[in-house]
Amino acid sequence: MRAAMTRNRCKGIAAAAATLAMAVVLTACGGDDGADKPEGKPQGGSTSSSDNQGDGPTPSEEDETQVIASIKGKDGIEATISSAKREAGGFVTVRGRIKNGSDQIWAAVGWQGTEQELVNNGASMAGASLVDQQGKKRYLILRDTDGRCLCTKFEGLSPGEEAPFFAQFPAPPQSTTDVDFQIPTMPTASIKISG
């Protein structure tokens, strides 16, 4: 009889230990909002007066007064590029500002590109790309597993308003420093990658 009681006690202790271990594992796996944020992947949120589509940190601000290229589109829309920086995670971040020089609200029509996966990004830099002319390769905007671009999303710019932007791309080989930055509906700009 004593042996039976000892076995039951051991089973109870084992069950309690397993329950405690499971509680620890579930607590360790829990997140702040259930969203997975893998390490080492580029993160970005909107830096304009727009809907912040990402929960990740906003790319660090750089000197926006520097101009490495300027693109003037139709209807008074101008994109000024302040940097194209090679990041440690194997990607390139292009930053700059958009200015609405027109007399109506601008909503980045067509800038999301024609790729089916990117269409739901709305008014954004999703259709932007980098082209390595020497390597004959085009680098499309990075996106998360839900198809959201790692780029700025715009709500719309009023006449005369400006907003910062960023767009992240896979990095070309280290030897490639000169690339073309393309935004749908805008002329191409040649830029130099730093870092």
- For the segment 62-94, what is each residue's pLDDT rounded down to a tens digit? 566 789 999 999 889 999 999 999 999 999 999
pLDDT in tens, 23-70: 333 333 334 444 443 344 444 433 333 344 443 334 444 566 789 999
Bridge partners of residue 85, in order along the sequence: 93, 194
Whether the Cβ atoms of residue 139 and residue 170 lie closer than 8 Å to each other: yes
What is the model's pLDDT at position 117?
A: 80
Domain segments of the chain as ranges:
1-30, 69-192
Query: Cβ-count burial of 74 within 10 angstroms (0-12 exposed, 13-18 middle, 19+ buried)?
Result: exposed
Averaged pLDDT, 100-113:
91
pLDDT at 119: 75
Beta strands in 27-177 (DSSP E): 69-72, 77-87, 91-100, 129-132, 137-140, 162-170
Q: Is the pLDDT of residue 135 over 90?
A: yes
How confident is the model at residue 53, as a pLDDT?
41
Pick the CATH number of 69-192 from 3.40.640.10, 2.60.40.10, 1.10.3230.20, 3.40.50.920: 2.60.40.10
